[in-house]
């Protein structure tokens, strides 16, 4: 969540559960998405 918050996005509490994610591949994907996201929903879009 830190990259999104650093970029000024407000992250809803119900999305903070991914902070506990331990799957390295998923974390890397979401970290990359957080850099390019235009919205918080972009981070969780499984179509990308």
1 or 31, which is more confident? 31
Residue 34 lies in a domain: yes
pTM of the model: 0.47
Residue 48 lies in a domain: no
Q: Count up the domains in the chain and report the number.
A: 1
Contact 11, 4 (CB under 8 A): yes
Residue 28 lies in a domain: yes
Instruction: Please provide the DSSP assignment of the chain as one string.
Output: -HHHHHTTPPPPGGGGGGGG---HHHHHHHHHHHHH-SSHHHHT-TT-
Q: pLDDT for 17-43, tens place per residue?
A: 665 666 777 778 878 888 888 888 887
What per-residue confidence (pLDDT) applies to 13? 79
What per-residue confidence (pLDDT) applies to 22? 67
Residue 33 lies in a domain: yes
What per-residue confidence (pLDDT) applies to 30? 79
Contact 34, 4 (CB under 8 A): yes
């Amino acid at each position: 969540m830190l990259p999104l918050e650093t970029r000024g996005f407000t992250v809803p509490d119900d999305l903070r559960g991914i902070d506990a994610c331990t799957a390295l591949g998923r974390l890397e994907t979401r970290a990359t998405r957080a850099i390019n996201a235009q919205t918080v929903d972009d981070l969780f879009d499984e179509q990308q």
